[in-house]
DNA sequence: GTAGGGTTAG
C-alpha cells in the first residue's frame, strides 16, 4: 500500500535512511507515483540535504506545480534566494501545462532582490488572477514593505477582497519596519476596534514602536491588552515586552516580565542582558550571562556583542580578551561586522587603543560605524590628533559617508587642537548632509567655534541654528563665554535659559561656575552654587567643588578656599587640590601650596604638573631647598614631564610642535628667526624667567630650553608663514608657561600681531604688548 | 504531497 510507504518515509530521521528508501522506490518502479517526487523533496529539505532535494527535483520526469513549489520553498528556507529565483524562472518557462499558483507566490516573492523584480511578480499575480488569495496579497505587502514601498503595500491592503489577521499584521509590521510608528499604532487600534483577532504576531510587531515613540503608556496599555487576551504567555510576546520596557527605561518592569516567564529562549536572555547593559548595570548583565550559561542556553553573536559592551563598562582587559577569543573561535569576527565593531569599542573603552586598532585592521569589511568607533576611541582616550588622522583617512575611502556620530566624534577633536579651518570644513560637510541644525552636531559646532577662538560664530549658531529646548547647546555657549572671560554674558545666558524654561543640569553649573571664576565674579559664583542646590536640587559633584575652590582661590581668598575644602561633604579629588595649588602659585602662598601638594602627591602622584607648579613657587620665593626637594622627589618617582605640544593651523594644515622637538622641516629657520626676535625682545626689556625651567642645568642651557617651548616654536612658525600683521592663533595642550606668557607680550608688540593662545585652561588675547588674561604669573 | 508573518546587538 502506497500510504504505508509514505508513512515510512516520514519517519526517516537521517538522510542516509531516506536515501536508501529512495533507491528502493526507484528499483521497485514506485517512483513514478505522482506524489513521491514532491514528498522526497520536502523530506530532504527537512533534513537539510539540499543536494538530494535538487537531485530528486531534476530527476522528476513530468514536473508538476507541487514539485516546483517544493523546490522553491526548499531554497528559500535554506537562505538561497538566487537558486529559488532560478527555479521560479524555469517554472515560467516550463510551458502552459504548469503555471505558478497561489502556493507559489508567498514563497517565491521572498526571492525578489529589488523592487523592480517584486513589481514584475505583482503584475504576474494580476495576470494569473491570484490577487484574491490572502496569502498571496499579504506576501505582496511584505515584499513592498521590505523595499520601503509601504504606500504600495497599503494599496494592496486596501484593495484586498478579504483580510485575515495575517494581512493586518503585514500592514502593522510594514509600518513598523519603515519607521512609521504612528501609522502602525493607527492600524493596530483599527484592528482592535473592528474586532479582528489580534494574535501574538500582531503584538510582537507593534511593541517595538513604543520605544521610538517614547510612549511608555502605550507600551503598558498594550501589555494590559495582551494579558486580557491571554497572549502574555507567548514567548515572542514576552521577549518583545522585555525589550520594550528596557528601551523605555524601566529595567524593573523588564525584569518583572522576565521573572514571570516559564520558558526562556536565547532571545529572552539576550534581551534581559542587553537591558541591564544598556541601563548602566554591566555587572548585573554579566551575572545574568553566567546564569544563562548555567541554564544550558548557548550564546550567539548577539549575546557576545552585549557582553562586549558590558565588559567595556565594568570589566578588565583580561575578560575583554576572553570575550574576543570566544568571538574569534566561533568565526564571528570574520563575518559579523557588528561583532567586530563591538570588539573595537570594547578595547577602546578599556583604554587599549592599540588593541582596538589591531582589531579594526583585521576586519575584512568595515562600515561607517567601524570608523566612528575607532575615531571615538582615539578621541576619548585623549588622542585627538590620532582621531583626526582616522577621520581624514576615512574621508579618502569611497562610499563611506559620515553620519551624525562621526561629526560628533571628530568635532571635539578639532576643538581640542584648535583646528578652526578643519572644523569649518566639517561645518560645511554638516550643511551638505543636512546635519547642521542637528542638536548634537550643532552643540559640537558651538563648542568648536568657541574653543577655536570664534565666539561670534558660536553665538550666531546658538541664536539662529541649533534647537535650544535641551541643555546641551546652552551649556556649550555658557562655557564658550566663560573661556573667553565673559562671565557677565555667561550669567545672562543662564537667566535667559531659566526664562525659556530649559532645565539646567550639572554640566550647566560647571560651565557657569567656571565662567564666574575666569571673570572674577565671586559673588555670582557663590550665589549659583546655592541656586543649583536649592532651586534645581542638583547635589554638587566634586567638579562643582573644584570650580568653587578655583573661584575663591583665583580671587585671592585662599583661606576661604581652604576652609571651603575642609567643609566639603565628599572627598576632595586632585581637581579640588589642584585648583588650590594653582591659586597659591598665582598669589604666592608657598605654605598653603605645599599643603595642597602634599595631598596631590598622594592622590595623583604620577601627574608631574603639580611638581612643576610647586617647584616654580619655591623658586619664585627664593626657597632653593624646596626646589631641590621637589625635584628629587619627582626624579625618585621616575616622572617624565607630560610632553607639551602646541599647534597652529596654516593653510588648512595643522602643524604640531612638541617641546624641544627639532624634527619639524623648518626647525633651522625657526631657530634663526627666534634669535632675531629674542634680541629685539631683550632690547625692549624682556628678561627670561628661569624659574619655569625644572631641569637642573646651566643658565645658557635654560635659555635654550625656554625658547624651545612648543608655544614659542609655534608662534615663531606662525609669524614666518602667515601674512604680516594678521592675527595668529595657537593652541597649547598644557598651561602656557609663565615665561612664554611674558615673552608673547613682547612678541605681539614687536610684530604688531594679535596673538591668541588657547591653553588647557582659557584664552589669552595678546595685543600691543598686553594680555587680556586676568591672572598674573 | 505544497503557503505568509513576529522579538534581541555595534
Dump pLDDT digits (tens) for A355-408.
999 999 999 999 999 999 999 999 999 899 899 999 999 988 867 889 999 999
Between residue 155 and residue 214 of chain A, the positions with Cβ below 7 Å from nucleic chain B are 164-167, 169-170, 173, 176-177, 199-202, 204-205, 207-208
Shared domain check, A555 and A425: yes
For residue A336, say whether its CB is under 7 Å from any atom of strand B: yes
Query: What confidence score (pLDDT) does residue A647 get?
Result: 86
Where does the pLDDT of residue A327 fall: very low under 50, low under 70, confident under 90, or very high at 90 and above?
A: very high
Q: Is there a single domain that holds both residue A454 and residue A489? A: yes
Of A636, A658, A688, the position where a domain reaches its end is A636
Q: Is the CB of A409 under 7 A from strand B?
A: no
Measured from the CB, is A267 under 7 Å from any atom of strand B? yes
Judge if A608 and A467 occupy the same domain: yes
Query: How far are the Cα atoms of A203, A204, A231, A254 from residue A223, in angstroms, in the given order?
Result: 9, 11, 9, 12
Q: Separation of CA A310 and C1' B10 in angstroms?
A: 12
Taking CA A101 as the corner, what is the angle to CA A46 and CA A120, rounded to the nearest 5 degrees?
105
Whether any strand B atom is under 7 angstroms from the Cβ of A375: the reply reads no
Does A621 share its domain with A652? Answer: no
How long is the CA A386 to C1' B6 vector, in angstroms? 44
Residue nearest to nucleotide B7 (CA to C1'): A240
CA A709, A593, A775 angle in degrees (round to 5)? Answer: 55
> In this structure, what DSSP letter does residue A364 have?
S
How far in angstroms lies nucleotide B8's C1' from the CA of residue A21? 42
pLDDT band at A1 (very low <50, low <70, confident <90, very high): very low
All three cell numbers of A442: 550643532
Q: Is the CB of A691 under 7 A from strand B?
A: no
Same domain? For A631 and A653 the reply is no
- In angstroms, how far is B4 C1' from A398 CA? 39
**Calpha distance A90→A462 (Å, rounded):** 63
Same domain, A464 and A512: yes
A306 touches strand B (CB under 7 A): yes
Residues 45-74 of A with CB under 7 A from strand B: 64-67, 69-70, 73
pLDDT of residue A774: 65
- Greater pLDDT, A28 or A272: A272
Q: What are phi and psi of A559, to 5 degrees?
A: -65, -40
- Give tens-digit pLDDT for A671-706: 898 988 988 899 888 988 887 776 667 777 888 888
For residues A649 and A632, membership in a common domain is answered with: no
What gap in Å lies between CA A597 and CA A379, rounded to an integer? Answer: 30
Whole-number distance in Å between A227 CA and B3 C1': 30
Domain assignment of residue A25, yes or no? no
The parent domain of residue A454 ranges over 398-636
Chain A 444-503 residues in 7 Å CB range of strand B: none
Residue A746 located in a structural domain: yes
According to the model, what pLDDT value does residue A609 have? 85
Provide the pLDDT for residue A3: 52
Residues 533-552 (A) near nucleic chain B, CB < 7 A: none
Protein CA at A151 to nucleotide C1' at B3, angstroms = 24
> Distance, angstroms, CA A339 to C1' B9?
8
User: Any idea which nucleotide's C1' is nearest the CA of A200?
Assistant: B6
Whether residues A405 and A500 share a domain: the answer is yes
Cell triple for A11: 519517519
Tell me, what's the pLDDT at A777?
A: 54
Same structural domain, A454 and A474: yes
**What is the per-residue DSSP string for A565-598?**
HHT-SS---HHHHHHHHHHHHHHT-HHHHHHHHH
Taking all residues of chain A, what is their mean pLDDT, rounded to a whole number?
92
Residue nearest to nucleotide B3 (CA to C1'): A103
User: Residue A372 CB closer than 7 angstroms to strand B?
Assistant: no
Q: Which helix (H) or strand (E) holds A763?
A: strand A763-767
- Does a structural domain hold residue A353? no
Which of A636, A656, A686 lies at the terminal end of a domain, its last residue? A636
Has residue A234 got a pLDDT over 80?
A: yes
CA of A108 to C1' of B3 (A): 10
Is there a domain that residue A410 lies in?
A: yes
A622 and A666 fall within a common domain: no
Is the pLDDT at A2 greater than 60, yes or no?
no
| CATH assignment at residue A512 | 1.25.40
Angle at A464 between CA A458 and CA A468, to 5 degrees: 85
Distance A569 CA to B5 C1' (A): 59
Question: Which bases of strand B have any atom within 7 Å of the beta carbon of a protein residue?
Answer: 1-10
- Strand B within 7 A of A441 CB: no
Same domain, A739 and A702: yes
More confident residue, A417 or A578: A578
CA of A205: how far to CAs of A155, A202, A689, in Å?
20, 5, 72
Q: How far apart are CA A702 and CA A715, in angstroms?
A: 19
Among A572, A604, A636, the domain boundary falls at A636
Summarize the confidence of residues A108-114 as an average pLDDT. 93
Strand B contact at CB of residue A716, distance < 7 A? no
Residue range A551-573: mean pLDDT, rounded: 94
Structural domain includes residue A215: no
One domain, residues A490 and A440: yes
Q: Note whether residue A425 is domain-resident.
A: yes
Which range has the worst mean pLDDT, A618-622, A636-640, A696-700?
A696-700
Give the containing element (helix H, strand E) for A715. Answer: helix A710-721
Count up the domains in chain A and report the number. Answer: 2
Which nucleotide shows the minimum CA-to-C1' distance to residue A146?
B5
A321 belongs to a structural domain: no
Mean per-residue pLDDT for A486-503? 94
User: Is position A405 within any domain?
Assistant: yes
Does the CB of A376 fall within 7 Å of any strand B atom? no
Which of residues A301 and A692 earns the better pLDDT score?
A301
Show the cell assigned to A537. 536640587
Report whether pLDDT(A155) > 60.
yes
pLDDT, residue A334, reads 84
Amino acid at each position: 500500500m502506497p500510504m504505508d510507504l509514505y508513512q515510512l518515509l516520514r519517519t526517516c530521521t537521517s538522510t542516509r535512511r531516506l536515501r536508501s528508501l529512495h533507491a528502493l522506490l526507484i528499483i521497485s518502479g514506485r517512483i513514478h507515483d505522482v506524489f513521491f517526487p514532491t514528498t522526497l523533496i520536502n523530506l530532504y529539505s527537512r533534513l537539510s540535504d539540499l543536494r538530494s532535494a535538487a537531485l530528486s527535483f531534476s530527476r522528476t520526469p513530468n514536473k508538476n506545480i507541487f514539485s516546483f513549489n517544493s523546490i522553491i520553498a526548499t531554497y528559500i528556507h535554506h537562505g538561497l534566494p538566487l537558486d529559488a529565483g532560478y527555479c521560479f524562472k524555469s517554472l515560467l518557462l516550463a510551458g502552459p501545462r504548469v503555471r505558478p499558483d497561489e502556493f507559489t507566490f508567498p514563497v517565491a516573492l521572498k526571492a525578489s532582490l529589488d523592487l523592480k523584480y517584486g513589481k514584475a511578480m505583482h503584475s504576474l499575480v494580476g495576470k494569473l488572477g491570484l490577487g484574491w488569495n490572502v496569502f498571496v496579497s499579504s506576501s505582496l505587502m511584505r515584499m513592498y514593505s521590505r523595499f520601503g514601498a509601504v504606500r504600495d503595500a497599503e494599496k494592496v491592503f486596501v484593495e484586498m477582497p478579504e483580510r485575515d489577521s495575517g494581512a493586518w499584521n503585514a500592514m502593522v509590521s510594514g509600518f513598523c519596519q519603515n519607521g512609521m510608528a504612528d501609522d502602525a499604532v493607527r492600524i493596530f487600534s483599527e484592528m482592535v476596534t473592528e474586532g479582528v483577532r489580534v494574535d501574538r504576531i500582531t503584538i510582537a510587531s507593534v511593541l517595538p514602536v513604543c520605544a521610538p515613540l517614547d510612549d511608555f503608556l502605550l507600551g503598558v496599555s498594550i501589555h494590559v491588552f495582551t494579558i486580557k487576551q491571554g497572549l502574555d504567555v507567548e514567548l515572542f510576546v514576552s521577549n518583545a515586552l522585555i525589550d520594550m520596557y528596557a528601551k523605555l527605561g524601566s529595567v524593573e518592569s523588564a525584569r518583572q516580565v522576565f521573572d514571570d516567564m516559564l520558558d526562556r529562549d536565547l532571545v529572552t536572555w539576550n534581551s534581559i542582558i542587553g537591558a541591564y547593559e544598556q541601563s548602566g548595570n554591566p555587572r548585573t548583565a554579566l551575572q545574568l550571562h553566567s546564569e544563562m550559561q548555567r541554564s544550558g542556553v548557548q550564546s550567539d553573536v548577539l549575546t557576545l556583542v552585549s557582553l562586549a559592551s558590558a565588559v567595556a563598562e565594568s570589566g578588565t582587559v583580561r575578560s575583554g580578551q576572553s570575550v574576543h577569543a570566544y568571538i574569534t573561535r566561533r568565526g564571528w569576527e570574520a563575518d559579523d561586522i557588528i561583532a567586530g565593531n563591538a570588539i573595537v569599542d570594547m578595547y577602546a573603552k578599556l583604554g587599549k587603543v592599540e588593541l582596538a586598532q589591531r582589531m579594526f585592521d583585521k576586519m575584512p569589511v568595515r562600515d561607517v560605524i567601524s570608523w566612528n568607533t575607532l575615531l571615538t576611541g582615539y578621541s576619548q582616550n585623549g588622542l585627538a590628533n590620532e582621531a583626526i588622522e582616522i577621520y581624514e583617512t576615512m574621508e579618502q575611502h569611497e562610499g563611506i559617508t559620515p553620519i551624525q556620530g562621526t561629526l560628533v566624534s571628530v568635532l571635539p577633536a578639532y576643538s581640542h587642537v584648535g583646528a578652526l579651518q578643519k572644523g569649518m570644513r566639517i561645518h560645511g560637510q554638516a550643511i551638505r548632509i543636512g546635519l547642521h541644525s542637528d542638536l548634537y552636531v550643532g552643540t559640537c559646532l558651538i563648542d568648536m567655534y568657541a574653543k577655536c577662538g570664534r565666539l561670534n560664530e558660536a553665538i550666531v549658531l546658538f541664536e539662529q541654528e541649533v534647537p535650544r529646548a535641551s541643555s546641551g547647546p546652552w551649556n556649550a555657549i555658557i562655557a564658550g563665554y566663560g573661556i573667553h572671560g565673559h562671565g557677565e554674558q555667561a550669567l545672562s545666558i543662564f537667566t535667559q535659559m531659566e526664562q525659556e524654561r530649559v532645565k539646567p543640569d550639572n554640566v550647566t553649573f560647571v560651565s557657569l561656575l567656571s565662567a564666574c571664576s575666569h571673570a572674577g565674579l565671586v559673588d555670582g559664583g557663590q550665589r549659583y552654587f546655592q541656586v543649583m542646590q536649592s532651586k534645581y536640587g542638583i547635589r554638587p559633584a566634586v567638579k562643582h567643588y573644584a570650580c568653587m575652590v578655583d573661584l575663591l582661590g583665583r580671587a585671592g581668598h585662599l583661606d576661604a578656599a581652604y576652609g571651603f575644602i575642609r567643609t566639603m561633604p565628599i572627598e576632595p579629588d586632585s581637581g579640588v587640590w589642584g585648583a588650590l595649588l594653582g591659586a597659591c602659585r598665582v598669589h604666592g602662598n608657598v605654605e598653603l601650596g605645599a599643603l595642597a601638594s602634599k595631598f596631590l602627591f598622594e592622590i595623583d602622584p604620577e601627574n608631574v604638573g603639580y611638581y612643576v607648579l610647586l617647584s616654580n613657587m619655591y623658586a619664585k620665593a627664593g626657597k632653593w631647598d624646596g626646589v631641590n626637594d621637589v625635584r628629587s622627589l619627582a626624579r625618585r618617582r621616575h616622572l617624565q614631564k607630560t610632553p607639551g605640544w602646541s599647534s597652529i593651523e596654516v593653510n588648512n594644515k595643522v602643524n604640531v610642535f612638541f617641546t624641544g622637538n627639532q624634527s619639524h622641516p623648518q626647525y633651522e629657520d625657526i631657530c634663526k628667526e627666534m634669535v632675531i626676535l629674542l634680541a629685539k625682545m631683550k632690547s625692549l626689556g624682556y628678561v627670561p624667567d628661569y624659574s619655569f625651567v625644572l631641569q637642573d642645568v646651566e643658565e645658557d642651557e635654560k635659555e635654550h630650553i625656554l625658547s624651545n617651548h612648543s608655544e614659542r616654536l609655534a608662534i615663531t612658525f606662525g609669524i614666518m608663514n602667515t601674512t604680516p600683521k594678521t592675527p595668529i592663533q595657537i593652541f597649547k595642550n598644557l598651561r602656557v608657561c609663565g615665561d612664554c606668557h611674558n615673552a608673547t607680550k613682547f612678541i605681539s608688540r614687536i610684530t604688531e600681531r594679535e596673538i591668541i593662545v588657547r591653553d588647557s585652561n582659557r584664552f589669552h588675547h595678546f595685543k600691543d604688548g598686553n594680555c587680556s588674561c586676568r591672572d598674573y604669573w
